[in-house]
Structure 1
């Protein structure tokens, strides 16, 4: 292990030791589930470890951890909402048309990957892109749904396509 890596790991260790319990409690209060809160708490520290943010430079570590935790919590609820919509759609299908468990798993993984791919886009841009790609709506129909101009939808779609092309998977 290099000397340069040692301080970051030690600082991360201290940050984890000092703030994990607090972050997990905060998440548990919002989620009502200790297991999911523990997972998101761990994910928060993993994001910090993987980021370019120098841990030693954090002036307000709890504020930083809270910001990352809120983003992960938002992603968690978006993913759960997506999964619930998928399960509801499956329940409304006749049994002979329902996908196998393996197909369901693949579909859920694909939906999650799509959700992660579009993460970071504004809500209206995401909706426009999904309506276009999944429901086959044209720009005029999307504009009517979002109550904006067709020109705005064209900008939204360009933004979504650019995001998809530039995202680092």
Structure 2
């Protein structure tokens, strides 16, 4: 039986070619946007990893490679900034905690990981569902207050909250399966 390397697969060849022709450009583009060579290098790599992780049978059709790569990288950058903002908010709240009540470094890492997973779930929700969930959970608004602020019916708020909780339950069950 003859074994062919994954590099001989047409899709992988296309990605190899994209990488060799556009990686330097993408990294420079990201460096200008992010202001950090290290973050730009990470996100440029993540962009190509994202391409490699797509369905193997999916053809790589891109007539404008730089626009295609920039779109993927821009989405990754938005996720990067959202995660960084979430982490900074957590660390700011942690700084207000008395030292004797502060969680251990391991607990802090677990909390940051959980926050990142929750953020990823919330990012998948429609904007109104995400807003309603955050208003209820973080700000303590009642369903009626949320309905008034978002100009929705209470029933719509209940549906949005139910959807957000369902996604959180799915996330929690996936976490329990991995333990």
> What corresponds to 2:43 in structure 1?
40
> What corresponds to 1:99 in structure 2?
103
> What corresponds to 1:51 in structure 2?
54
After TM superposition, the score normalised by the length of structure 1 is: 0.83
Does the aligned pair in 1 maintain the 2:118–2:168 contact within 8 Å? Answer: no
- Per the alignment, do residues 114 and 93 of structure 1 end up closer, same or farther by CA in structure 2, a change over 3 Å counting? same
Q: Which has the larger radius of gyration?
A: 2
The within-5 A match list for 1:1-169 is 1-2=3-4, 6-52=9-55, 53-55=58-60, 57-134=61-138, 136-161=140-165, 163=167
After TM superposition, the score normalised by the length of structure 2 is: 0.79
Q: Any stretches of 5+ residues in structure 2 without a counterpart?
A: 175-179
Q: Any stretches of 5+ residues in structure 1 without a counterpart?
A: none
What displacement does 1:128 show? 1.9
- Per the alignment, do residues 7 and 165 of structure 1 end up closer, same or farther by CA in structure 2, a change over 3 Å counting? farther
Q: Deviations over 1:100-154 (max 9, x none)?
A: 1111111111111111222233444223223334555432233344454434423
- Per the alignment, do residues 62 and 97 of structure 1 end up closer, same or farther by CA in structure 2, a change over 3 Å counting? same
- Per the alignment, do residues 124 and 22 of structure 1 end up closer, same or farther by CA in structure 2, a change over 3 Å counting? farther
RMSD: 2.5
